[in-house]
């Protein structure tokens, strides 16, 4: 929002016991990214925007994830779990720095968008002291209800404290709020210990604002955007919504998805022009796919850069650190890891390429294995440009195959091969003329006896 500075506080303290997981709730993933990272990605950024994340006392991993996802985030610890208002005050030092707008969001609502954060700030500019994000819940059970009179928000009633009439209201608190920075600290500090659970509820800010003669507003959004995750079933539901969004965005950007509902994307997948993805492809985090590339059916790709006009699969597995050059081809049942394949490389069938650099135009035959691991360490294989590795070869790393060299099929290569040389490692071939006829004659005679 032009001209107004903002501080966003994301609350990520508290346990996710209903997830039945040893992982903190907000570190669970949707589309290859933590719930927390999704929220942080949507929070305002850039000049005049600052970000604070409140974490629990034993959750260094959550603090680390916050800083990984947004290097401009500062983290604060809420030592006791005394409610959402108490959690916001853990970031008191950040609030005291004095932004025009104070936004509060929860770390467990990964579907929230940047546009919604901006929409919520508008009523503040129009003079409200507080704006609350609301939604119409299909099943409002458990949510705080927004009590509205005329156009004014008068209170938020938590489900546990609501009367039967209030429970009939379907307009619910999404948990995202925007405070006018001038009065934010005063309002939040005035929230008393007024509820049944002995917690300080941020939702009570509405009544405090009203008692000060100030205004509170509601901005509505769709339920899908503000689904909070408390269970694995809700996590799966959020994943489904996110996948639909990502597929639609890819289609919109011109990616050909033949059976979109079968393709699994990551939030950070980047596509060039004229990319085609066939059915049943899984794309994990950190993948870029350049112009005119094709990912054939049943391929699995994670942390890989796929170059222009490259062809992957069907049934290929590209693991982290794979880079596929322009026009290169990776065929069926090929696995790559930490592998740089320069332009035009062909690895078409049944092969493992790990910790390897392959120069432009090299051809790797069916069943080639880079033996990169000795049980203790990983070692590197280098294959020069234009080399030809015959089928069923084992390249025992560390090893270097020279540019333009030939490796005879079935070789086990344990020493470096010079440029343009032939290396073949194989038992001598024995042929015995007429042997098969003699063998059959003997066997037929034995059978007749």
Q: Quickly list H helices, 272-392.
A: none
Q: In whole angstroms, what is the distance from residue 244 CA to residue 296 CA?
A: 20
Taking CB under 6 A as the rule, does residue 84 contact ligand UD1? yes
159, 264, 349, 357: which one is catalytic?
Answer: 349
Minimum Å gap between C-beta 144 and ligand UD1 is: 2
Q: Which two tokens stand for residue 422?
A: 């032939």
| Rounded to 5°, angle at Cα 394 from 391 and 400 | 105
* Contact of 344 with 326, CB cutoff 8 Å: yes
Distances (CA, A) of 229 to 133, 173, 226, 251, 398: 17, 15, 9, 27, 47
Q: How far is the CB of 142 from Mg ion (least distance, A)?
A: 8
Tell me which residues in 188-207 interact with ligand UD1 (CB under 6 A): 201-203
Instruction: Select the span of 82-90, 179-187, 268-276, 413-421 touching ligand UD1 (CB under 6 A).
Output: 82-90
**Smallest separation, CB 108 to ligand UD1 (Å):** 5
Check if 357 is active-site.
no
Partners of 288 in the beta sheet?
270, 305
Q: Per CB under 5 A, which region of 223-231, 312-320, 340-348, 366-374 contacts Mg ion?
A: 223-231
> How far is residue 205's CA from residue 187's CA, in Å, rounded to a whole number?
6
| Nearest distance, CB of residue 35 and ligand UD1, angstroms | 9
Q: Which residues from 217-276 bind ligand UD1, rule CB under 6 A?
A: 228
- Cα separation, 322 vs 1, in Å, equals 40
Closer of 12 and 389 to Mg ion (Cβ): 12
- If the CB atoms of residues 102 and 334 are measured against ligand UD1, the closer one turns out to be 102
By CB under 5 A, residue 228 contacts Mg ion: yes
Can you tell me the distance from the alpha carbon of 367 to that of 358, in angstroms, rounded to the nearest whole number?
16
Nearer to ligand UD1 by Cβ, of 156 and 324: the residue is 156
156 binds ligand UD1 (CB under 6 A): yes
Determine the Cα–Cα distance for residues 209 and 180; give it in Å rounded to an integer: 11
Q: How far is the CB of 159 from ligand UD1 (least distance, A)?
A: 8
| Cα–Cα separations (whole angstroms), residue 175 to 51, 84, 109, 355 | 17, 10, 9, 47
Rounded-to-integer distance, Cα 128 and Cα 144, Å? 21
Helices (H), 232-309: 232-252
**Looking only at residues 270 through 299 of this chain, which bind Mg ion when binding is defined by CB under 5 A?**
none
Q: Is 172 in the site for ligand UD1 (CB under 6 A)?
A: yes
Instruction: Please give the helix or strand (H or E) that residue 300 lies within, else none.
Output: strand 300-301
Select from ligand UD1, Mg ion, none the partner in contact with residue 344, using the beta carbon and a kind-dependent cut-off of 5 to 8 Å.
none
Instruction: State yes or no: residue 14 binds ligand UD1 (CB under 6 A).
Output: yes
Closest to ligand UD1 by CB, 108 or 342: 108
- Residues in contact with Mg ion by CB under 5 A are 228
- Residues in contact with ligand UD1 by CB under 6 A are 11-14, 54, 78, 81-84, 86-87, 106-108, 143-144, 156, 158, 172-175, 201-203, 228
Q: Which residues are catalytic?
A: 349
């Amino acid at each position: 929002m032009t001209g107004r500075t903002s501080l966003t506080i994301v609350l990520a303290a508290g346990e996710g016991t209903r997830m039945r997981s040893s992982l903190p709730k907000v570190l669970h993933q949707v589309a290859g990214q933590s719930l927390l990272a999704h929220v942080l990605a949507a929070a305002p950024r850039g000049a005049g925007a600052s970000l604070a994340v409140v974490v629990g006392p034993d959750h260094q991993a959550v603090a680390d994830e916050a800083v990984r996802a947004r290097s401009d985030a500062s983290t604060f610890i809420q030592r006791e779990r005394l409610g959402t208002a108490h959690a916001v005050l853990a970031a008191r030092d950040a609030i005291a720095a004095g932004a025009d707008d104070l936004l509060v969001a929860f770390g467990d609502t990964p579907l929230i968008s940047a546009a919604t954060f901006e929409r919520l700030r508008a009523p503040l500019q129009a003079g409200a002291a507080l704006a609350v994000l609301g939604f119409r819940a299909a099943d409002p059970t458990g949510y705080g209800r927004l009590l509205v009179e005329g156009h004014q928000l008068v209170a938020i009633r938590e489900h546990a404290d609501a009367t039967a009439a209030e429970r009939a209201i379907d307009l619910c608190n999404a948990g995202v709020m925007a405070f006018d920075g001038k009065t934010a600290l005063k309002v939040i500090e005035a929230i008393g210990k007024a509820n049944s659970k002995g917690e300080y509820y941020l939702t009570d800010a509405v009544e405090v604002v009203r008692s000060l003669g100030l205004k509170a507003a509601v901005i509505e959004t769709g339920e899908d955007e503000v689904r909070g995750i408390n269970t694995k079933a809700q996590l799966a539901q959020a994943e489904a919504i996110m996948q639909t969004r990502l597929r639609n965005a890819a289609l919109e950007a011109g990616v050909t998805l033949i059976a979109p509902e079968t393709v699994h994307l990551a939030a950070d997948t980047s596509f060039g022009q004229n990319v085609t993805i066939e059915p049943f492809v899984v794309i994990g985090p950190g993948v870029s796919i350049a112009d005119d590339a094709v990912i054939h059916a049943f391929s699995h790709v994670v942390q890989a850069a796929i170059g222009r006009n490259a062809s992957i699969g069907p049934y290929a597995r590209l693991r982290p650190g794979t880079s596929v050059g322009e026009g290169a081809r990776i065929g069926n049942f090929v696995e790559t890891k930490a592998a740089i394949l320069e332009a035009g490389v062909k690895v078409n069938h049944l092969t493992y390429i790990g910790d390897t650099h392959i120069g432009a135009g090299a051809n790797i035959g069916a069943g080639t294995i880079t033996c990169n691991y000795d049980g203790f360490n990983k070692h590197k294989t280098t294959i020069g440009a234009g080399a030809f590795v015959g089928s069923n070869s084992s390249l025992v790393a560390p090893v270097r195959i020279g540019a333009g060299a030939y490796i005879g099929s079935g070789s086990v290569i344990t020493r470096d091969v010079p440029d343009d040389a032939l290396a073949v490692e194989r038992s001598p071939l024995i042929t015995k003329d007429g042997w098969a006829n003699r063998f059959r004659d003997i066997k037929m005679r034995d059978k007749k006896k």
